[in-house]
């Protein structure tokens, strides 16, 4: 798929905006201007020019996007891009919950010992590709109750986000903040995470399964939710702007998927070299079914890079099912570059 420019930095236009938006200078009034009946020869200062700040902003975004595109076309990617030069292996969950995944299910040090063993397995299975460790923390989580605003979602506290970020830095991991919008929208929720996404090791995941804004009255887990290409494009633009404004390496965006309706109009997704998009096969169960889902919903509807999820609790039940090995997953075509354990 061809890269298409979609967002960028505004820093290049800040000086211009400051000049254009400043009020016109005016000298102190003369005696005649202060009052009385006297006349004055002074000429009123011209009105400040009207500045179309949105137009300037869009022009800056376009210039920045074109620059990023030109670099990507010469080298294949932007400096600091993780993909396709690494395979990301992540532990998923929430550090405050034992029920959401391996991240949080076990005590911290025990979990990291297990993670270290998993990372070694992946590196041994494919020595040609460096493994990048990642934590994937569900940061805005769909809820079983509506909450005061009726949006059926809850964001982690600042202390929780900072704690999982400290875990990631301590163990040389990157960090994904995952969003389950409930009955809210990505447009409303993503700005809450911007301060954390300015960190170069912080990336983003979005989960259509728990996006229910188009399904009034439906509770999370009652039906599988959906996102459209326009929502993914909003997210790409949002991340690309943060990358440019803060001079960051490209961000990785994971999009969960295990049914066709979870993502509509995939062909309309517009890629940007500042954001690397992973379509992530999120189904569990029999390895045969998982492979079929990967083929039907990821391979047949390609976007950019691919991911594959493994479940400690669900993939091995019932026997003789098993958790697929690194070698089995690597053998898929295309070979997934993002692996997630829940």
pLDDT, one tens digit per residue, over 94-148 is: 999 999 999 999 999 999 999 999 999 999 999 999 999 999 999 999 999 999 9
> In sequence order, what E strands does 129-226 have?
131-142, 153-155, 174-179, 202-206
Residue 328: how many CB atoms within 10 A of its CB? 16
> pTM of this prediction?
0.80
Burial class (CB in 10 A: 0-12, 13-18, 19+), 116: exposed
Banded pLDDT at 31 (limits 50, 70, 90): very low
List of domains in the chain:
87-341 (3.20.20)
Helices (H) and strands (E) in the chain, counts: 11, 11
CA gap 238, 226 in Å, rounded = 19
Give the H or E element holding residue 264: strand 263-264
277 contacts 305 by C-beta, under 8 angstroms: yes
Banded pLDDT at 283 (limits 50, 70, 90): confident
pLDDT for position 68: 72
Q: What is the mean pLDDT of the chain?
A: 86
pLDDT for position 8: 39
CA gap 102, 84 in Å, rounded = 26
Residue 195: how many CB atoms within 10 A of its CB? 12
**Over 60: is that where the pLDDT of 241 sits?**
yes
- Percentage of the chain surpassing pLDDT 70? 79
**Does residue 84 have a cis bond before it (omega within 30 degrees)?**
yes
Give the H or E element holding residue 293: helix 287-293
């Amino acid at each position: 798929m061809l890269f298409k420019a979609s967002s960028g930095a505004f820093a290049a236009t800040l000086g211009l905006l400051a000049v254009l938006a400043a009020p016109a200078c005016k000298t102190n009034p003369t005696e005649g201007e202060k009052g009385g009946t006297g006349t004055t020869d002074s000429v009123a200062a011209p009105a400040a020019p009207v500045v179309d700040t949105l137009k300037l902003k869009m022009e800056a975004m376009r210039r920045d996007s074109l620059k990023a595109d030109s670099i990507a076309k010469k080298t294949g990617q932007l400096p600091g891009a993780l993909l396709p030069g690494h395979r990301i292996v992540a532990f998923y969950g929430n550090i405050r919950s034992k029920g959401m995944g391996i991240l949080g299910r076990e005590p911290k040090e025990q979990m990291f010992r297990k993670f270290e063993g998993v990372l070694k397995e992946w590196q041994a299975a494919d020595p040609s590709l460096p493994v990048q460790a990642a934590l994937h923390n569900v940061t805005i989580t769909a809820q079983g109750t509506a909450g005061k605003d009726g949006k059926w979602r809850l964001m982690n506290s600042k202390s929780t986000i900072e704690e999982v970020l400290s875990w990631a830095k301590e163990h040389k991991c990157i960090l994904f903040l995952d969003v389950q919008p409930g009955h809210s929208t990505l447009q409303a929720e993503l700005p809450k995470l911007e301060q954390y996404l300015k960190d170069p090791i912080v990336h983003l995941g979005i989960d259509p399964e728990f996006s229910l804004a188009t399904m009034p009255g439906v509770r999370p887990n009652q039906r599988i939710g959906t996102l459209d290409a326009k929502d993914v494009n909003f997210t790409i633009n949002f991340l690309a702007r943060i990358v440019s404004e803060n001079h960051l390496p490209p961000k990785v965006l994971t999009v969960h998927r295990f049914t066709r309706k979870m993502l509509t109009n995939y062909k309309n997704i517009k890629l940007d070299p500042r954001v690397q998009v992973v379509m992530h096969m999120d189904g569990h169960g029999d390895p045969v079914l998982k492979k079929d889902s990967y083929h039907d919903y990821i391979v047949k509807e390609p976007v950019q890079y691919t991911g594959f999820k493994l479940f400690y609790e669900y993939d091995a039940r019932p026997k003789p099912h098993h958790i697929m090995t690194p070698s089995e997953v690597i053998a898929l075509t295309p070979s997934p570059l993002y692996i997630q354990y829940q």
